[in-house]
Amino acid sequence: MISAAACGKIILFGEHAVVYGRPAIAVPVTQVQATALVQPRAHGLTIHATDIARTVKVEPHNLIDPLAAIVNLTLAYLNCPRPQLEITVHSTIPIASGLGSGAAISTAIVRALAQFAGRPDIAPEVVSQLVYEVEKLYHGTPSGIDNTVIAYQQPVYFLRGEPIQTFNVAHPFTVVVGNTGIASSTKKAVSDVRRGWEIDPARYEAWFDWIGAIVQQARSAIEAGTLDRLGPLLDQNHVLLRELDVSSLELERLILAAKQAGASGAKLVGGGRGGNMIALVNDQQREAVIAALKEAGAVNVLVTEIQ
């Protein structure tokens, strides 16, 4: 039996604007993960997603269903004769919540199949490219940031269409991630932003430029270790995401609670309208912010150190 895993991710700065060619910063979240287990079988090729109680018979050439598609694309890349297998996937990453669950499941499957085919050293750029093809099925017009950060499993500065840039985190810092418990479709949020941009391109382009400038400043603050600059930048990024109309009452409630409990900055992460938010904390603020988020209705809170 072979198994492989992939981590979750958060976008620290720049979601939505990244779809329009502005930079974004994303980091892996290793406290949550997707795993794929590959077991030889006498007949057929099936994939079983335990969390959503779904079993898919993987027909050759099925490039429509995301689970079947990642299996078929990976087998084609590996140039491997069609195996008789059962693949079981399981994930502790909440679905549709901005933590990259779809990309992590696809990544775990690619890695497990590569191991099965005797190619455990499959390059991250290949994994990322295969997963990107399937992200299109989930999201329509993904920027590619999710598959990149999850396949490389390190902090990335991402610019659509450009080679990946990793960067140095001068001083580790901690974010608390609070889940509203509201599942939200990234595809819908992205297409609503697109509609707004089509109606008033000048206004949206200005917002995207502003977000891009925040991302640049955040990168230099992280590289220089001037972490006191990060909190206000998170707040400014969130204000712009609110302008893009991708926040929600539940996200606002958690963000306010985190700020009132002393977090130095907070914002929604990912597609928005639900899912998760993050708050930047130091050691003294951490417990109070966790308690405040739970009190304000967060269904799950996790703490991750970025280093």
For ligand PMV, the closer CB: 25 or 280: 25
| 146 is an active site residue | yes
Which one from 65, 146, 228, 283 is the annotated catalytic residue?
Answer: 146
Which of 15, 65, 235, 250 contacts ligand PMV by CB under 6 A?
15
Q: Name which of 84 and 165 has its Cβ closer to ligand PMV.
A: 165
Binding mask 256-275 for ligand PMV (x = CB under 6 A): --------------xx----
CA dist., res. 52 & res. 203, Å (int): 40
Residue 22 near ligand PMV by CB under 6 A: no
Query: Please, what sign has the CA dihedral across residues 245, 246, 250, 255?
Result: negative
Number of residues that bind ligand PMV (CB under 6 A): 16
Tell me which residues in 123-152 interact with ligand PMV (CB under 6 A): 139, 142-143, 145-146
Q: Which two tokens stand for residue 10?
A: 């958060």
248 binds ligand PMV (CB under 6 A): no
In Å, how far are 233, 241, 269, 297, 301 from 249, measured between CA atoms?
21, 13, 14, 12, 18
Q: How far is the CB of 186 from ligand PMV (least distance, A)?
A: 4
Nearer to ligand PMV, 46 or 106 (CB): 106
CB 160 within 8 A of CB 151: no
As a whole number of angstroms, the distance between CA 271 and CA 35 comes to 23
**Taking the C-alpha atoms of 191, 194, 196 and 197 in order, what is their torsion angle to the nearest 10 degrees?**
180
- Looking at the DSSP assignment, which residues form a beta bridge with residue 267? 278
Please report, as ranges, the residues that interact with ligand PMV according to CB under 6 A: 11, 15-16, 18-19, 98, 100, 139, 142-143, 145-146, 186, 190, 270-271
